[in-house]
Chain A
């Protein structure tokens, strides 16, 4: 053994192995994309320590959204993800039915996600590919997105991964804001680490390799979610059924959250929110983005209104103000969940299957109209006529 293991042989092997891993990491996400994808679930998202990489999501989006179809990318929060509906009965399936075969819907929303996170970044990558896409996301009343790299630390990696790889659309405002943020975050070791990680990954693709191996063959990090088969490949896990208990237990918390939605915007708020949009959404993507301000459970709104007279009026005004600032920033904005009853909600904001179906029916005409406005449908009709 000692005779076989000589330094020259060892180093040649080491370098060859390292290069092979880098090349494999670069190619693997395209060659082995995520299969049978319906939406991110806890075995495929950061909750389960799975941080799908930008290359993986791009490969997924490319496969799910063929060039000859109009791609509808759903981004945003758990409401858009369809929390409250089973994976096979999620609102996006109904949306696909409503939109018909000309469209392809892919749901990249995340629990607690912001409008500028996974969904938007995937939309940017598809725009760079020259695909016909519509990005649909929900927007909370209190914020659009606190920073161009998202609201939650846990999802920020995705923006930085895509950015380091040069997969984002150009947006000078975003670059300026990120430069200022980098200065603010200079003492935060997490961002230092994230910066080095994503830059190194751009050249070495170790993250991509590890995530593809974790998806295809074996996951190497123990997590309570996967405790029965901790090393099982993530593709072998199906989305577990939703545990409704926590949602039903938090009624009081929900009422407090709803009550906070009544505070009217002042001029500064509206300027701040508009600036958030301008520094997050590239110009090219703005006309392709349908921002949905979803109304909350009417029962909760009524309860709060009874406790705080005038709340409902203030809430309605706030929703309209939100739509106005989103439109002023160049996005298409519509109100969602307007036709829903209390029974369509799981809690104050999440939807059950019936609510999801209603939301799909509400949004489909808006998406179709937007696609038409963008010329996607016309070109298709013209091509058909030519043929």
Chain B
């Protein structure tokens, strides 16, 4: 947990007071860039920094050239880096290995020579932000011309670890505002937001310890306890993820910048679609804008819409980690979204009545959505057989 390390506390305690001094905007930006380089260098190490610097330079130059060819090259390079660093083992062992185990093993053993011990820190965030940038430039939007601004967009330290996934059109104006002046109000609100994030993280860590302890003897627990753990798992992830986001948003606010909200009371959602409008908003909107809509979205008929949704959410699942359970989780959500979106069209008048009924009986819609989301978390956290066993044990004694 980077934000809870003593090194990080010392880093923030040294950096923020200096940043708050009345510097000219250009100096402030350089200060922020220096801090971001120190932060990234410390936590990622040389093996983690080099690929990001290389990708960043390629992305910046491709953007400046405004050439479609170079934008595509940059996008392919980001995707390739993501696949190489994060998914190569999964591709070798779990995909190729599932077909021809010997090939999978051989591929992985030779790939190991090329890979660092761990993927570069936050490679998924970097890749998604660079891809977004290049797609926007490809679509004709203005690129970032200033090297400092681009570097800050790439390695802005509050959002490196756990997002939100930034959009440069939103970020650059905020950066300018923060560099110009930091108001007392911003610092105060940032502090409060940071405190909120810390409280959430504290609760999430306690829940994690509690859940991990009960994992081993889940089957022998009474039914009420199993349901309590089911709820605990759902609470843990929202507290953990949104706690991190709160801290990132809080730190940015202390520097006079507003990062986009990432979680908006997701457990108040009354449908899977509503849930995804509230959950990890920056990621789900990225998936929508750069995968779902380019695939055709809902413009090419109901079948294509279902296929597009499932494909987009499978990728969303895979983004969270290189393992089958994340893919299954993505598929599950994609299927859930497809079914709930298709019911009114498939069932005709009955479907429309059902939809209206659910809007009126919102507690039922809410409960069903929470059940759907909760089952999803079992798939997210546990290997499929274990998740299915846990699910069965929510209704069966043994």
Q: Which residues does A use to contact B, with CB under 8 Å?
A: 5, 7-8, 10-11, 14, 189, 192-193, 196-197, 200, 220-224, 227, 230
Contact = CB atoms under 8 A, between A and B. Distances in A.
Interface stretch (B22-30, B106-114, B202-210, B376-384): B202-210
Nearest to B43: A189
Contacts of B191: 10, 14
Report, nearest first, the 9 A-B pairs whose CB atoms are least far apart: A7-B184, A196-B6, A222-B206, A222-B209, A10-B188, A197-B6, A224-B213, A7-B188, A193-B6
B10 A220 contact: no
A14 B188 CA distance: 10
Contacts of A220: 202, 206
B206 A221 contact: yes
B7 interface: yes
17 contacts: A7-B183, A7-B184, A10-B188, A11-B184, A189-B7, A196-B6, A196-B9, A197-B6, A200-B6, A200-B9, A220-B202, A221-B209, A222-B207, A222-B209, A222-B210, A227-B213, A230-B206
B5 interface: yes
Nearest to B5: A193
Contacts of A5: 188
Given A221-B209, A222-B209, A223-B209, A7 B7 contact: no
Interface in B193-223: 202, 205-207, 209-210, 213
Interface string B4-24: 011101100000000000000
Interface of B: 5-7, 9-10, 183-185, 187-188, 191, 202, 205-207, 209-210, 213
Given A196-B10, A200-B9, A224-B213, A7 B206 contact: no
A227 B210 CA distance: 8
Nearest to A220: B202
A192 B7 contact: yes
Nearest to A187: B45
A220 B202 CA distance: 9
A222 B206 CA distance: 5
Contacts of A222: 206-207, 209-210
Interface centre among A5, A7, A197, A223 (most CB of B within 10 A): A7
B184 A8 contact: yes
Contacts of B184: 7-8, 11
A7 B183 CA distance: 9
B209 A7 contact: no
Contacts of A192: 7
Contacts of A230: 206, 210
B216 to A, nearest CB: 10
B14 to A, nearest CB: 11
Nearest to A231: B206
B178 to A, nearest CB: 16
A196 B8 CA distance: 10
Given A10-B188, A11-B188, A197-B6, 17 more contacts: A5-B188, A8-B184, A14-B191, A189-B7, A193-B5, A196-B7, A196-B10, A220-B202, A220-B206, A221-B205, A221-B206, A221-B209, A222-B210, A223-B209, A227-B213, A230-B206, A230-B210
A177 B4 CA distance: 30
A197 B202 CA distance: 18
Contacts, number: 42
B62 to A, nearest CB: 35
Contacts of A8: 184
B194 to A, nearest CB: 11
Contacts of A223: 209
Nearest to A7: B184
Contacts of B188: 5, 7, 10-11
A320 B234 CA distance: 61
A380 B6 CA distance: 48
B43 to A, nearest CB: 9
A196 B11 CA distance: 11
Contacts of B206: 220-222, 230
A186 to B, nearest CB: 13
Nearest to A8: B184
Nearest to B186: A7
B5 to A, nearest CB: 6
A11 B182 CA distance: 15
A53 to B, nearest CB: 15
A200 B9 CA distance: 10
Contacts of A11: 184, 187-188
Contacts of A221: 205-206, 209
A319 to B, nearest CB: 42
A10 B183 CA distance: 13
Contacts of B207: 222
Contacts of B185: 7
A230 B188 CA distance: 33
A222 B213 CA distance: 10
Contacts of B209: 221-224
A200 B10 contact: yes
A224 B216 CA distance: 12
A80 B15 CA distance: 48
Contacts of B213: 224, 227
A175 B209 CA distance: 38
A5 B189 CA distance: 10
A5 B205 CA distance: 30
A10 B202 CA distance: 23
A197 B5 CA distance: 9
A50 to B, nearest CB: 15
Nearest to B185: A7
A229 B25 CA distance: 53
Contacts of B6: 193, 196-197, 200
Contacts of B202: 220
A221 B4 CA distance: 15
A117 B244 CA distance: 37
Contacts of A224: 209, 213
Contacts of A200: 6, 9-10
A200 B5 CA distance: 12
A100 B320 CA distance: 66
A28 to B, nearest CB: 21
B40 to A, nearest CB: 15
A221 B202 CA distance: 8
A194 B308 CA distance: 50
Contacts of B10: 196, 200
A189 B183 CA distance: 35
Nearest to B45: A187
Nearest to B213: A224
A8 to B, nearest CB: 7
Nearest to B195: A14
B202 to A, nearest CB: 7
A224 B183 CA distance: 45
